[in-house]
């Protein structure tokens, strides 16, 4: 989508922002040997926000910092750490902003309640209609 335009514009702007010359972190572009662990890491990385690019997950960014964060995630997963513990660790440092998965906190409750509220409103609006129809048919 237009996000691509963004990507292009960022590329266009790239020479202005200096980049480092170091090779990427060892596990930035290297998968874990254990497929189960790699899948776990991948799932987590897809839900962590790249702080440099603002609108991409670290799983699909070429920014060096995203690579470093992927390295961190893979290292910790390989060490047996739980994905949610890693998420919590990052949230402790960057706040909820870093996680695309909304956390269970009071400020997010309205968001979780929203689908229920929508269904409730729909039910309230429709209830009268169908019920009355039924009554009419019964009396008819």
Partner 1 sequence: MSEDTPKRSSLAIWLPLALFGAFFVLVIWGLYRPADREVVSAFVGKPLPQFNLPAATAERPGLSTAEMITGKPRLLNVFASWCVPCAAEAPQLEALRQRGVEIDGVAIRDRREDLDRFLGNYGNPFARIGKDDLSEVQVGIGSSGVPETFVIDGKGVIRYQHLGEIRPEDVALILRKLQEAQS
Partner 2 sequence: MIAEIGLAVLWMAAALALLQLFAGFSALRPGGAVLAGIVRPLAVIQGLLVGISFVCLITLFLETDLSVKLVAANSHSMKPFIFKLAGTWGNHEGSMLLWITVMAMSGGVVALVEKRLREDTLLATLAGQAFVSLGFYAFLLLSSNPFERLPEPAPEGQGLNPLLQDVGLAFHPPTLYVGYVGLSVAFSFAIGALITRDVGPSFARAMRPWVLGAWIFLTVGITAGSYWAYYTLGWGGWWFWDPVENASLMPWLAATALLHSSSVLASRNALRAWTVMLGVIAFSMSMVGTFLVRSGILTSVHAFAVDPERGSFILALLAIYIGGALALFGIRASTVTEGERFSLFSREASLVFNNVMLCGILGIVLLGTLYPLMTEAFGAKVSVGPPYFNPVSAIFAIPMMLMMGVGPLLRWRKDRPSRITATVAIPALIVALVLLGVVVLFPSARLLPMLGIAVGIGLAIGSWLPLRGRNLRRTPLAVWGMVLAHCGIGVALFGAASESAFSVERLAAMNIGDTQSVGPIALKLEAMEPVAGPNWTAIEATISASYKGGPPVTLHPQARTFSSPPGERTESALHTRWNGQLYAVLGDEGDDGRWQMRFWWKPFVPLLWLGGLLVAFGGLLALLGRVAEDVKRVRLLDKIAFRKAQQDMLK
Inter-residue contact 72 to 79 (CB < 8 Å): no
d(CA 121, CA 18): 52
d(CA 111, CA 115): 8
Among 20, 92, 137, 138, binds partner 2 (CB under 8 A): 137
Q: Does 72 bind partner 1 (CB under 8 A)?
A: yes
Among 52, 57, 62, 76, binds partner 1 (CB under 8 A): 52
Q: Does 82 bind partner 2 (CB under 8 A)?
A: no
Under DSSP, the state recorded for 106 is G
Residue 33 site contact among partner 1, partner 2, none (CB < 5 to 8 Å, cut-off depends on kind): none
**CB of 67: closest distance to partner 1 in angstroms?**
9
Among the candidate windows 3-11, 16-24, 38-46, 79-87, which touches partner 1 by CB under 8 A?
A: 16-24
Instruction: Extract the runs of DSSP E, i.e. beta strands, from the chain.
Output: none
Binding mask 112-131 for partner 2 (x = CB under 8 A): --xx--xx--x---x--xx-
Cα dist from 100 to 10, 39, 70, whole Å = 22, 18, 15
């Amino acid at each position: 989508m237009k996000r691509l335009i963004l990507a292009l514009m960022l590329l266009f702007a790239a020479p202005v922002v200096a980049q480092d010359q170091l090779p990427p972190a060892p596990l930035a572009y290297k998968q874990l040997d254990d497929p189960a662990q790699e899948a776990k890491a991948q799932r987590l990385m897809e839900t962590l926000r790249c702080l440099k690019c603002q609108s991409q997950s670290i799983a699909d960014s070429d920014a060096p910092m995203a690579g470093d964060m992927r390295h961190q995630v893979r290292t910790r997963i390989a060490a047996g750490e739980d994905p949610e513990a890693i998420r919590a660790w990052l949230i402790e440092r960057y706040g909820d902003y870093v996680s695309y998965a909304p956390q269970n906190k009071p400020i997010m409750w309205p968001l979780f309640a929203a689908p229920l509220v929508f269904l409730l409103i729909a039910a309230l609006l429709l209830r009268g209609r169908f019920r009355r129809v039924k009554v009419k048919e019964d009396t008819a």
